[in-house]
């Protein structure tokens, strides 16, 4: 995987971030979702390098080979604000004070917080199968709760850890043929580590508490995204089932919003890398 990419570990005091990076040209930061690692980009990232971008793929705080602080009662150590600050520091350490940004799934929530908290750093932002947490929660339906019950299960104390760690391979299903064998092995190493499982759950616990508070504060303050936004969503995921056209939701937060669907399942970087890289390339070059 990632032929021609370098690997590094960037120490940030409270966190230690594993990162892959390669290419030359305008920088773009790719943020993975749950329960993946930076390896999820192994098919799409080289295509963006070939298009002339400098591509940075970190493991989010607590995921994969990155590490974060011990959990606290307010979950602030795994808030999207803390993780977004990690990402800005990682990019600065690699020499990128400004950059384009794409976040998938939970990485999309980090990207949202990053562009709100650090607007001068982000030139463009792409959200992949991602909507603001507060927007999802304000639209709860029976269908949402049935399909997204894990959000509320993961938010419970202690029990999710016991359930998941009893059989992580069964809980976190993954197909090595679909994912790629090396990506799958990295995914398995991560999900078999109880410390990683705990951190991933803290991500969700933060989402329903401190992250929601931060989004509601921004909404009340009228905070908006100033740079161009695109949203790309998977046809075989449930975005359209739950929300219809998702672009008006992002227009609650930004004026310059475009986007379209991609024929794929949820993990589009693995399942439809050519289409994803082409769509990102067009957006980043506009």
Inside any domain, residue 211 = yes
Are 271 and 264 in contact by the 8 Å Cβ rule? The answer is yes
Are 108 and 30 in contact by the 8 Å Cβ rule? The answer is no
Q: Cα 47 to the chain's mean position, in Å? A: 19
For 120, phi then psi, to 5°, come to -70, -20
Task: Say which CATH number the domain at 185 has.
Answer: 3.40.50.1820
Count the domains in the chain.
1
Inside any domain, residue 279 = yes
105 catalytic residue (yes or no): yes
Report the DSSP beta bridge partners of residue 104: 128
pLDDT for position 149: 97
What is the DSSP code string of 142-199?
A: HHHHHHSHHHHHHTSSSHHHHHHHHSHHHHS---HHHH-HHHHHHHHHHHT-HHHHHH
Are 151 and 208 in contact by the 8 Å Cβ rule? The answer is yes
Inside any domain, residue 220 = yes
> In this structure, what token pair is assigned to residue 166?
């009893």
Q: Which residues contact 41 (CB under 8 A, 6 or more apart)?
A: 30, 32, 55, 57, 269
Are 56 and 94 in contact by the 8 Å Cβ rule? The answer is yes
Catalytic position from the list 105, 211, 218, 237: 105
Inside any domain, residue 180 = yes
Report the DSSP beta bridge partners of residue 7: 20
Picking from 83, 139, 149, 137, the residue whose alpha carbon sits closest to that of residue 111 is 83
Rounded to whole angstroms, the Cα distance separating 194 from 103 reads 25
Beta strands at 27-31 and 54-58: parallel, antiparallel or unpaired: parallel
Are 69 and 77 in contact by the 8 Å Cβ rule? The answer is yes
Inside any domain, residue 159 = yes
pLDDT for position 286: 80
Instruction: Determine the structural domain holding residue 94 and report its residue range.
Output: 6-285
Catalytic position from the list 117, 184, 238, 266: 266
Instruction: Give 75-114 pLDDT, tens digit per residue.
Output: 999 999 999 999 999 999 999 999 999 999 999 999 999 9
266 catalytic residue (yes or no): yes
Inside any domain, residue 102 = yes
Crossing angle for the helix pair 159-166 and 194-207, to the nearest 10 degrees: 140
Picking from 190, 199, 19, 212, the residue whose alpha carbon sits closest to that of residue 99 is 19
Residue 30's region, left for phi above 0, alpha for psi from -120 to 50, else beta, is beta
Inside any domain, residue 221 = yes
Crossing angle for the helix pair 194-207 and 181-191, to the nearest 10 degrees: 80
Inside any domain, residue 1 = no
Instruction: Give 251-268 pLDDT, tens digit per residue.
Output: 999 999 999 999 999 999
pLDDT per residue, tens digit, the chain (286 aa), is 999 999 999 999 999 999 999 999 999 999 999 999 999 999 999 999 999 999 999 999 999 999 999 999 999 999 999 999 999 999 999 999 999 999 999 999 999 999 999 999 999 999 999 999 999 999 999 999 999 999 999 999 999 999 999 999 999 999 999 999 999 999 999 999 999 999 999 999 999 999 999 999 999 999 999 999 999 999 999 999 999 999 999 999 999 999 999 999 999 999 999 999 999 999 999 8
């Amino acid at each position: 995987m990632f032929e021609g990419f370098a690997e590094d570990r960037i120490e940030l005091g409270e966190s230690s971030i594993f990162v892959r990076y390669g290419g030359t040209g305008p920088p773009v930061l790719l943020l993975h979702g749950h329960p993946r690692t930076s390896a999820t980009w192994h098919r799409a990232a080289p295509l963006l390098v070939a298009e002339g971008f400098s591509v940075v793929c970190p493991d989010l705080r607590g995921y994969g080979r990155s590490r974060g602080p011990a959990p606290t009662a307010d979950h602030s150590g795994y808030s999207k604000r803390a993780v977004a600050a990690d990402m800005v520091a990682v990019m600065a350490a690699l020499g990128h004070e400004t950059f384009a940004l794409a976040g998938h799934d939970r990485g999309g929530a980090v990207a949202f917080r990053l562009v709100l908290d650090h607007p001068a750093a982000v030139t463009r932002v792409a959200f992949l199968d991602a909507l603001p947490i507060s927007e999802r929660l304000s639209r709860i339906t029976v269908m949402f709760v049935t399909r997204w019950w894990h959000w509320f299960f993961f938010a419970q104390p202690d029990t999710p850890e016991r359930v998941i760690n009893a059989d992580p391979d069964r809980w976190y299903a993954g197909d090595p043929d679909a994912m790629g064998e090396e990506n799958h092995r990295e995914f398995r190493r991560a999900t078999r580590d109880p410390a990683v499982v705990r951190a991933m759950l803290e991500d969700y616990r933060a989402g329903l508490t401190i992250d929601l508070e931060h989004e509601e504060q921004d909404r009340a303050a009228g905070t908006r995204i100033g740079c161009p936004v695109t949203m790309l969503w998977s046809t075989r995921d449930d975005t359209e089932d739950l929300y219809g056209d998702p672009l008006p939701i992002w227009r609650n937060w930004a004026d310059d919003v475009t986007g379209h669907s991609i024929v794929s399942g949820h993990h589009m970087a693995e399942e439809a890398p050519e289409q994803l890289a082409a769509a990102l390339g067009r957006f980043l070059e506009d």
